[in-house]
Each structure stands twice: as C-alpha cells, then as structure tokens.
Amino acid sequence: MSARPGGPPRSEVTAGIVDSLPLGLALTPVGLAFGYLAYTVGLSWWLAGLMSAVVYAGPSQFIAAGLVSTGAGTPVIVATTFVANLRYSLFAASLAPHMRDAPRGRLPFVSHAVADGSYAVTLDHALARPERPRKDQYLLGSFLMSFAAWVGGTMLGALAGGVVPAAIAFGLAFATPAIFIAFLVPYIRDRVAVVVMLTAGIGTVAGNEFLPPGAGPLLAIVGASVLGGALLSRPTPR
C-alpha cells in the first residue's frame, strides 16, 4: 500500500496490529484476571472496563484494586498510581526518538498507547526496521490490538467471574512473564546487559518486598539503567 500525501500510511497501522497478535493473546488472560479482581472488590463490569480503557496501565490497576480492598483512600491510590506508572516516562523517553516523522498534533493522542507491551513491540520494530516510516502509526496499531485484548478481557472477566479452571488460570497467569522473556532474551548480548537485567530483576523483587507498592520496579529500572549506562561509558572498554 502506498501512503497518500499527508495521509496516514495505513500499512504501518496494520503491521502494528499483526505484530501485536501474540501480545493480544498474552494480555487477554491478564485482562480476565483484572476483571475478576475488580468484580471481587465491587466494581461493575462497565466501570472495570472504563478503568482499563482510560487508565490503560495493567500493573497499577492491580495495585489500585488491592488498595481499594484494604480500604485505602483516593489520595493514596492516586499517588501510588503515579509512582507505579512513572516508568512510562522512561518508556516514552526511550521510544520518542523514533517518532520524529510523526505529525506533532498526533503525538499527545498516541502517548496513551505507551504501555509495557506496545512499548516492547514498537521498540523492537523501530530497532529492527529503522527505514520504515511513521512508527507512531505502528504504535497505534499495536495499541488497537492491546486495547481490544485488555479492555475486552477486563469486561469479560468482570462479567464471567472465576469460571476458568484452576490449572488453565495458573498457566494463563504465566503468559505475561513468558511474553516478556521473549522480548528480553534478544537484548541479552553482553555482560553489561546481564548486569542490568539482574540488577533490575532482583531489585524489583526486593523492592516489592520492602517498599510501597509500585516503587520497587521504578527505582530498580532507573538504578539498573543508570548503572548500565555508567558501565558502558567507562573510559576503558570491557
């Protein structure tokens, strides 16, 4: 398909949708799980779906539902959400350099698409195919697939409740680590990458044990990235 002058190159949107199919498959069970959790803490199916649509940030929604069940107030929930989602600022900083040919007016809308999965898929595409135009369109396509899976899964989960057999649910809950293992493995090419991975991974696990919810991943990602950057900037090469 050729791009009309001034018009969006549709094939990039389609490419984003198609490449995000595995992501959609992985996100659906997570959506089901969140919908069920939202149902158990008293949210209706449409409110749970609305939350997934407008917040569109899985981990923080799980944390918020947990906080609701412990009777936490709105300020605590909002502040925790902000801290938990600050990593999207890092994702935005990492992905934005690939968006230079996007129309400026579109960027504020596409920023809503910056979430863990679409970030991974789009960055992968941007690094592998730098010559392709309009990564914002690709990101939009990835978003459409993720959004449908996440919001659809949420509403189904809230409506259907815990109807999934335990063994299947146990396996589906592993879909998230599994897909991010697939995203992570290609990046592990040298010793610094291993150090960054272990620092961020172990740091997050420790942070989840000892820090307020959402703070662990943020601090671990920042710390590990700065450490990795510093190691690579050393005067003597590895």
Partner 1 sequence: MAAVTYLTRLPLWILVSRRPRPHPRLERVIEQIPIAAFAAIVFPGVLQPGGSTDLDPSNLYLYAALVTVAVAVASKRRVLPTIAAGTLTAVLLRLLFGP
Rounded to 5°, angle at Cα 205 from 139 and 35: 55
Write the interaction track for partner 1 spanning residues 180-209; mark x where CB under 8 A is met and - where it is not. xxxxxxxxx---xx--xxxxxxxxxx--xx
Query: Which residue stretch of 1-9, 35-43, 154-162, 219-227 sits at the interface with partner 1 (rule: CB under 8 A)?
Result: 219-227
Q: Which stretch binds partner 1 (CB under 8 A): 37-45, 94-102, 142-150, 154-162?
A: 94-102
Cβ count within 10 A of residue 35: 28
Q: Which of 3, 25, 159, 164 binds partner 1 (CB under 8 A)?
A: 25
**Which of 130, 134, 61, 57 is CA-nearest to residue 101?**
134
CA distance 215 to 208: 8
Separation CA 2–CA 48 (nearest Å): 40
**What are 13's two structure tokens?**
């949107």
Residues sharing a CB contact under 8 Å with residue 204, sequence separation 6 or more, in sequence order: 216, 217, 220, 221
The smaller minimum CB distance to partner 1, of residues 163 and 202, is found at 202
Span from 8-16, 35-43, 142-150, 175-183 in contact with partner 1 (CB under 8 A): 175-183
Q: Is position 166 an interface residue for partner 1 (rule: CB under 8 A)?
A: yes
Q: How far is the CB of 190 from partner 1 (least distance, A)?
A: 11
Whose Cβ is closer to partner 1: residue 7's or residue 165's? Answer: 165
